[in-house]
Structure 1
Amino acid sequence: MRRKTALATLALTALALTGAALPAQAAERPAATASVQAPASSPSAAAERVAPAAAAGKSVSVKVSMDQLGRGAAIAEALRSISTDDRGAFVQEAMNKAFDAAGGRHNVMLFNLSQNYDDRFNGTRVYANVQWGNIHYGLWIFESGEFTNQGDGGWINWGFRGWFERNGGHVKFNRSW
């Protein structure tokens, strides 16, 4: 689906102010979503949900809104552990940690949501909003599909890992099995 930068920016601002979940990014996303959260009985439940990375790096928060693998908590924990002030290094590390935490069998896409894009993923298993500093990324873990980056490339805006063929800003992903 096409995203216009201005519309995406407005939507992300509204989400940040209301704390609401991101809208469905993939056609197969179920209407009911489960967020990965600490147990309500935990005194620091809210702090654990958006725990910042170590003081040396930018703050990282993760909100998993879809988790069909049952690994959303492990993925969120792995991403929150990243501590860097280098945006490109963050994207690379986040992509690799998400791939490993998801079991290494699915494709992974991490993309700056303020950029325009077109996604056509099949078998989306995990979706999360990852915030590094003031930048919002979408994290998809999926079986196959296509993705077109219509904005700026480079490690600061996107990273992907899995089984793919790339032609410039267009990537076709295949299943690992």
Structure 2
Amino acid sequence: MDLVRAFVTVYTFSNVVTEQFLNKEQHVTTKAAGKLDDLWCYTCETMEQEDHCVDLLGNQTALMRKCPEDHRICMVKRISYTTSTENSTSIPRMWSLARSCSSKCEAGCIIVGERTKLYACTSCCEKSLCNVGKGTAPDCFPTSGVVAVLAVLVRLMTS
């Protein structure tokens, strides 16, 4: 008789659980049900090197925005360029800079071109007001990037 009672109890529990999932009910702890902390990011766009969006010095409350719940990443996107001649390469010059909230972000740089190189760099972070950088990745620019590539090539050739 105890075996039958145990089977009925398990069967009843199984039906209750199945019914809850079929009805799309969710049971979560109080902590899990709590609202995520609000995320705030700096938001602005500029094509001017001297714009307050580039350096974020001083009180920049006008640029602070609360992100939508589905945007949990702060981001900085910067497009820069360099020009080259046979003897030299210019320092990187900013073309545009944008700060924003985002739902997706892939950090890194994409470099396109030969004599005129475009650098599209993105940095990402997940804390409020963390997108304060200039969106540059030191390894994207010629001085360190070329040195790193050359170091790897020399190592491969000598091993």
TM-score, normalised via structure 2 length? 0.21
Give the structure with higher Rg (CA).
2
TM-score, normalised via structure 1 length? 0.20
Greater helix content: 2
